[in-house]
Structure 1
Amino acid sequence: MNLSEVTYPKDTKNRVQNLLVQEARRKPKTAPRWRKPAALTFAGLALAGTTAAGVYVAFAPVEDKRDIRCYYHADLTTRPPVEGSPGETKPPYITTGIFITGFDAKNNPNPDDKNAGMQQIADPINQCSRVWDMGNMNLSGINDDLIPEGFISPTPGAMPTAEAVVDQNGKPLFRDPALRSFGNFIPFLTACVVDGTVAVIPGPAEVCAQLGIPALDESSR
């Protein structure tokens, strides 16, 4: 998928375009040879500039990573229809997490915590890659446009294959070697931040900036 094919909210796209224009008008300053580039941090937010495209990428930390959003598209607002329910829509993402084994929900010490009993997710990209692999991101064909031509998707309801698949970073999708891949398409994913929550969005590293949202500060792990 090319970035030109990404759908953005109109106001977000305009902000990104204005940012590009402002940066293009800046005159580059010659830095001393001994000075190394560094990201500037302020109040938990870092801004890093790319020299070629002139795009500033904001980085934001997320402390609570128990609930991860896996977006269907690089689109933060469009709500896809609910299959079988005319006129009803659902959020543009699926939430995913890992329950703590043996957690006693009846004796929950924090009943107001909607994520009680969930583990912190150390690798959101890997977590959402599993959701894509299992076919949960394309139940009604809402993102067939992301699947490359010639890719053979498994038959719905089929059992996992004998193949052990890794994510885009070379990490196994499942810690248990006995678990195998379902074989559904997994796009390249990027971890961004939306509403203070980790949002894993299909698209290259630039997709967060293109959508006008910060990228996840990985140093906050």
Structure 2
Amino acid sequence: MNLSEVTYPKDTKDRVRNLLIQEARRKPKPVRRWPAFPAVIAVAGTALVGTTAAGIYTALAPVNDKRDIRCYFHADLTTRPPGSTMPPYITAGIFDTGFDAQKGPNPDDRNAGMRQVSDPVNLCSRVWSQGLMNPAGFTDDLIPTGFVSPVPGSVVPGHNYKDQNGHPLASDPDLLGRFGHYIPHLAECVVDNTVAVIPGEPEICARLGMPALEK
């Protein structure tokens, strides 16, 4: 026997037909879809804004006091120079030559007499270019093969040393004799509410689990 040959009472056929008609007329429930890339998401005062080329969300955080800048040796927060008790970074700043500690003492301010740094990458680039970021060859692993470090005190004729953004490292020609060592690409991150300039591309901040500096 085929299913088409099965007979039903008339009232049963009518109920089935009505149910089919109601189901056909019912509008499908829309499926909720989340946007692929939220424009801005605020999380505890930090904004997540888009993604980097590597597809990593980049968080931004502000730093109000930029007098004390940390220039990290490597793309991590723990590696120290062997046999040294120093931290995994060098602290850099710009001293205000007009500051008089006697006339304006502030014992509670450990950065008294220092200027606000407007370009942390440039400041740390100076430290790298002077060879201070490679004690005893500690950062040789970052230097490309074939790069020739300068002889101490020498100046490359006509060379105007600049950072990765094209900004000059020094306006005083007398300082150029200290420059010329390798400078890796640097990224501005935020660690302990302090600007941390770390070797690496912009996504290095997110990879290390910290926000990038909000401009």
Shorter-chain TM-score bucket reads 0.7 to 0.9
User: Where in structure 2 are the equivalents of 1:152-167 lying within 5 Å?
Assistant: 152-155=148-151, 157-162=152-157, 163-167=159-163
Corresponding residue for 1:89?
85
- In structure 1, give the amino acid aligned to 2:199: P
- In structure 2, give the amino acid aligned to 1:198: V
3-state SS of the aligned residue for 2:122? helix
Give the Cα–Cα distance (whole angstroms) in 2 for the partners of residues 159 and 59 of structure 1. 40
- In structure 2, give the amino acid aligned to 1:191: E
- In structure 2, give the amino acid aligned to 1:63: N
Query: Could you tell me how far 1:53 is from its partner in structure 2?
Result: 4.5
Matched, 1:196 2:196: no
What whole-Å deviation, never above 9, does each CA across 1:118-165 have from its counterpart, x for those lacking one?
00000000000000001100121101000000000113x334433111
The answer to whether the 8 A contact 1:164-1:179 is kept is: no
Give the Cα–Cα distance (whole angstroms) in 1 for the partners of residues 161 and 189 of structure 2. 24
Query: Could you tell me how far 1:179 is from its partner in structure 2?
Result: 4.0
Structure of larger gyration radius: 2
Matched, 1:66 2:72: no
- In structure 2, give the amino acid aligned to 1:136: L
Give the Cα–Cα distance (whole angstroms) in 2 for the partners of residues 114 and 135 of structure 1. 26
3-state SS of the aligned residue for 1:140? helix
The percentage of aligned residue pairs carrying the same residue is 62
The answer to whether the 8 A contact 1:40-1:46 is kept is: yes
Corresponding residue for 1:29?
35
Q: What count of residue pairs does the alignment treat as equivalent?
A: 181
The answer to whether the 8 A contact 1:68-1:197 is kept is: yes
What whole-Å deviation, never above 9, does each CA across 1:41-88 have from its counterpart, x for those lacking one?
455311123286542211100000001000000010122224xxxxx4
Corresponding residue for 2:127?
131
3-state SS of the aligned residue for 1:198? strand
Corresponding residue for 1:115?
111
Corresponding residue for 1:18?
none
- In structure 1, give the amino acid aligned to 2:183: I
Give the Cα–Cα distance (whole angstroms) in 1 for the partners of residues 213 and 170 of structure 2. 22
Give the structure-1-normalised TM-score.
Answer: 0.74
Give the Cα–Cα distance (whole angstroms) in 2 for the partners of residues 196 and 205 of structure 1. 18
- In structure 1, give the amino acid aligned to 2:125: S
- In structure 2, give the amino acid aligned to 1:158: G
3-state SS of the aligned residue for 1:131? helix
Corresponding residue for 1:23?
none
- In structure 1, give the amino acid aligned to 2:60: F
Structure 1, unpaired ranges of 5+:
1-26, 32-36, 83-87
Does the C-alpha gap of structure 1 residues 109 and 144 become closer, same or farther in structure 2, counting only changes over 3 Å? same
RCO higher in 1 or 2 (8 Å CA, sep ≥ 6)? 1
What whole-Å deviation, never above 9, does each CA across 1:4-44 have from its counterpart, x for those lacking one?
xxxxxxxxxxxxxxxxxxxxxxx76379xxxxx73334553
Structure 2, unpaired ranges of 5+:
1-32
Give the Cα–Cα distance (whole angstroms) in 2 for the partners of residues 51 and 136 of structure 1. 30
The answer to whether the 8 A contact 1:44-1:61 is kept is: no
